[in-house]
Structure 1
């Protein structure tokens, strides 16, 4: 792909992102990361293809990936609208309906710059505790980002996770890092998913992540989702449990303020 021009665009804290004008007249999206780990972009490309294959929320087409760069279809951004939010809810339900073979994935990945262990497990509670919460809790405690009392409360929630997790559900195809910044609202009135940490997981995790930092028109998204695929009773009380992992990730990356929020989420989860 011969490049004629680059324009920096917002692209998160980990990578540098560009609108790229190619010599053949096409406009594409490119992202790079200095000294990226091996397969960093290959894993992201595989996650996008996995979400695309689920047939729910669309993702930008992967045009190329190697150790240095990921190249995607350019999607012209637009404002979030009520119809687009409702469509996102219905299509996210369809993404989740694509069942996974197990909780986890066939290769490890990343959430932001941090590695993720995706080794499969039989049940979601075991996967979430061992692969998501415990590793980041240990690191956050070591770094001083989670205090002793908050750490104890997170551990108490993990001790009861089999009960707190709610009714068993089959492993769903999930985005895995679905905060509002990873929803790309298109000028064509349709949302796309980007920057996935895709794996077989619990569908409530994606919805809880959308709520964590405030997604536009979230009530419309959730209502449309519930119409298409009703959630198990008590799901609202389980939101803090599903938010433990991203809060601990943020504690590792950004410090004690998020560690305190993780402790508060653990106590909320214990209250149900």
Structure 2
């Protein structure tokens, strides 16, 4: 969870120490805190109190809903018991900042064939945790952007209404008009055609499964964190894992051996990853515009055939 600790000890404010103790029961008086790199939204600290390390996220008071949604997602993943998931120990806010206190895990990247196989088996188990509808009982966040999770009986309708439309509206509001939006309207009309012969189950998804949110713990158990959970097509997690790379080849081989994706996965992969590329366009700017346009055009072309 984060890059190696940077050697610059800090002190927590008295207000934060008090709030942490009130929320967790742990005395953080005089605790030693060290910044951890790797995150792009929140400040992250390793905090030692009473001889034990903890992982602490901090941000402005207005980000408390993000931390509350993360607690909810971690609880859902923990209940499935497929992965090692950090326990949320406290969540709240002082007058100046919101905080999320988590169990500190010793983690390393997936590297070996065995790592990939273990992670695949755990992901298959997670995806076999299914529900009755697509979506989630609450909205949450994908990166720093809100993620709408209104419950739907149909997957295609959910993905259009709760994934693509909100991102395209953000793109329009940011001034990204022209071809990307004109062709996106054609795409939205054609999305249901991808699911005429494919009926995915409402699987429990991590929701933001890139390699930075996946690891192995000190005992060699697969671990996941920073979730954006909802129930959806399991292929959406697989697709996200391919978007930025970093997972061992053995992971994909083991997953497909246990539960092969249905025909048409490559098209669905492009559709599902379009959501994340549009989200990156919203968060990080024009560098992702060309990629989004190419994905939309490719999907529209395939769906016209």
Q: Name the TM tier (shorter chain).
A: over 0.9
- Structure 1 residue aligned with 2:294: 264
CA displacement, residues 77-121 of structure 1 (integer Å, 9 cap, x when unaligned) = 224222111111111011011002311111111111111111111
Cα RMSD for the two superposed structures: 1.7
Matches within 5 A, 1:79-118: 79-80=109-110, 81-118=112-149
Q: Distance in 2 between matches of 1:8 and 1:101?
A: 42
How far apart are residue 11 of structure 1 and its match? 4.2
CA displacement, residues 22-56 of structure 1 (integer Å, 9 cap, x when unaligned) = 12x22121111123334321210110110111222
Q: Is the 8 A contact 2:64 2:99 kept in 1?
A: no
Q: Is the 8 A contact 2:122 2:222 kept in 1?
A: no
Q: Distance in 1 between matches of 2:142 and 2:187?
A: 22
Structure 2 residue ranges without an equivalent (≥5): 1-25
How far apart are residue 191 of structure 1 and its match? 2.7
Q: Which of 181, 185, 192 in structure 1 is aligned with 2:223?
A: 192
- Structure 2 residue aligned with 1:6: 33
Question: Which deviates further from its counterpart, 192-201 or 2-11?
Answer: 2-11
Structure 1 residue ranges without an equivalent (≥5): none
The DSSP-based 3-state class of the residue aligned with 2:231 is: strand
Q: Which of 187, 190, 204 in structure 2 is aligned with 1:160?
A: 190
TM (norm. structure 1) is 0.92
How far apart are residue 268 of structure 1 and its match? 2.7
Question: Which deviates further from its counterpart, 163-172 or 120-129?
Answer: 163-172
Q: Distance in 1 between matches of 2:81 and 2:217?
A: 18
Q: Which of 50, 54, 60 in structure 2 is aligned with 1:28?
A: 54
Number of matched residues?
Answer: 269
Q: Distance in 2 between matches of 1:71 and 1:229?
A: 36
